[in-house]
């Protein structure tokens, strides 16, 4: 059977296959209270019935100020956790593992969501003052407040509280968002981090906050549940965060209790020059897996079942994560099973959809 449909066990949790849904913002919270809605139930639930092994939520903000936009979901209140619990129950009922991505947007917070405008949302319109490692703005956005050491500690505490709420909601996996130009990535990159204290300058200082968050979350996140980190392997800008640094920090993450590194790239600087093509980020996942000796997930223009299977066959990654392809096709894993010749009884069809496995 194609290894795409082999289960994978991380710590004490087994996921039914290696086709995972990548986190994708939906900007669907109209009340601005961070509470997931029926949209999220239907969006995520459709991917569970569509056969994905792990269904990951979009970035869930660990504080109100950590949202990318006013329409983002969060996990900073018990009410939000209760709403997530309903969704998690549905995912579990249909065979999928449930994961959530814990995030803080930093200087890229308080943005207009894509179809509602551009730039930073004014405070008068529901926006807020953003924060970051340094008072350096992302292009087109407001200059952030530079976090002091006490405020950095409060953010670590917020990640811990969010992880506890994720556990109370029943999530099987949490992923710490250290990619795409958001707060933890901002601390990693010398393009956004100009600090001269213990959180800036050297590699060891720039990775300090990420490791502090990982250590603190690992303490409260159940020992038998996997902890993931998403990284941008490179900023695609000279003088920025590099692929070599990604390998180095990935080895540290593994030593600190991280079970899989979800390898993406970019998002830190608008000057990025990305060479885009099918599977263009897969080599980064391959390098991290081989050199840091940690399990990896590959993402980025993975659209074809044979292509996805080839990534596993070549040892480039342990799982593949789909984003835009999954937006177009919620049941992509079921098509993959059909095209790759997976026996009907081994394919992730819910009973209601079992006729889809018939080859007539």
Is a pLDDT exceeding 80 seen at residue 359? no
How far separated are the first and last CA of the chain, in Å rounded?
Answer: 21
Architecture label for domain 3-357: Alpha-Beta Barrel (3.20)
Catalytic residues: 182
Domain ranges of the chain: 3-357
pTM > 0.85: yes
> CB–CB of 58/101 below 8 Å?
yes
- Percent of the chain whose predicted confidence (pLDDT) is above 90: 96
CA angle 354/359/360 to nearest 5° reads 110
Q: DSSP character for 54?
A: E
**Number of C-beta neighbours around residue 131 at 10 A:** 24
Please compute, for residue 120, the number of CA atoms within 13 A of its CA located in the half-sphere on the CB side: 22
Q: What is the pLDDT of residue 31?
A: 86
Q: What is the mean pLDDT of residues 253-268?
A: 98
- Compute the average pLDDT of residues 4-20: 97
Q: If you average pLDDT over residues 15-39, what whole number do you get?
A: 96
Is the predicted pLDDT of residue 193 greater than 90, yes or no?
A: yes
Concatenating the DSSP letter of every residue in 56-107 gives: EEEEEESSGGG-SSTT--B-SSHHHHHHHHHHHHHHHHTT-EEEEEEE--GG
Give the C-alpha distances (Å, rounded to integers) separating 15 from 2, 9, 193, 237: 15, 6, 37, 36
Tell me the average pLDDT across 60-72. Answer: 98
């Amino acid at each position: 059977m194609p290894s795409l449909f082999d289960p994978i066990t991380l710590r004490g949790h087994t996921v039914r296959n290696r086709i995972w849904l990548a986190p994708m913002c939906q900007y669907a919270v109209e009340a601005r209270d961070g509470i997931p809605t029926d949209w999220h139930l239907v969006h995520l639930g459709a991917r569970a019935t569509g056969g994905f092994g792990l269904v990951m939520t979009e970035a869930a903000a660990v504080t109100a100020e950590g949202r990318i936009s006013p329409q983002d979901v969060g996990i900073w209140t018990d009410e939000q956790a209760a709403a997530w619990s309903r969704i998690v129950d549905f995912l579990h009922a249909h065979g999928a593992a449930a994961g959530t991505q814990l995030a803080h947007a930093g200087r890229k917070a308080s943005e207009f969501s894509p179809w509602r405008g551009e730039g930073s949302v004014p405070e008068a319109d529901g926006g807020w003052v953003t924060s970051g490692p340094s008072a350096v703005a992302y292009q087109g956005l407001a200059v952030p407040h530079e976090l002091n050491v006490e405020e950095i500690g409060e953010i670590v505490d917020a990640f811990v509280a969010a992880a506890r709420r994720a556990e109370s909601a029943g999530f099987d996996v949490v992923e710490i968002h250290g990619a795409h130009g958001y707060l933890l990535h901002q601390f990693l990159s010398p393009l956004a981090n100009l600090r001269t204290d213990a959180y800036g300058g050297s590699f060891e200082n720039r990775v300090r906050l990420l490791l502090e968050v990982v250590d603190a979350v690992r303490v409260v996140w159940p020992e038998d549940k996997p902890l993931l980190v998403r990284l941008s392997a490179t900023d695609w800008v000279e003088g920025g965060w590099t692929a070599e640094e990604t390998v180095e920090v990935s080895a540290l993450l593994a030593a600190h209790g991280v079970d899989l590194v979800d390898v993406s790239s970019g998002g830190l600087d608008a000057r990025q020059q990305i060479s885009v093509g099918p599977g263009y980020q897969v080599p980064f996942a391959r390098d991290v897996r081989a050199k840091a000796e940690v399990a990896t997930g590959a993402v980025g223009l993975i659209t074809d079942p044979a292509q996805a299977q080839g990534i596993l066959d070549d040892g480039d990654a342990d799982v593949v994560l789909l984003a835009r392809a999954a937006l177009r096709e919620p049941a992509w894993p079921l098509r993959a099973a059909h095209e790759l010749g997976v026996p009907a009884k081994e394919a992730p069809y819910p009973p209601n959809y079992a006729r889809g496995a018939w080859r007539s």
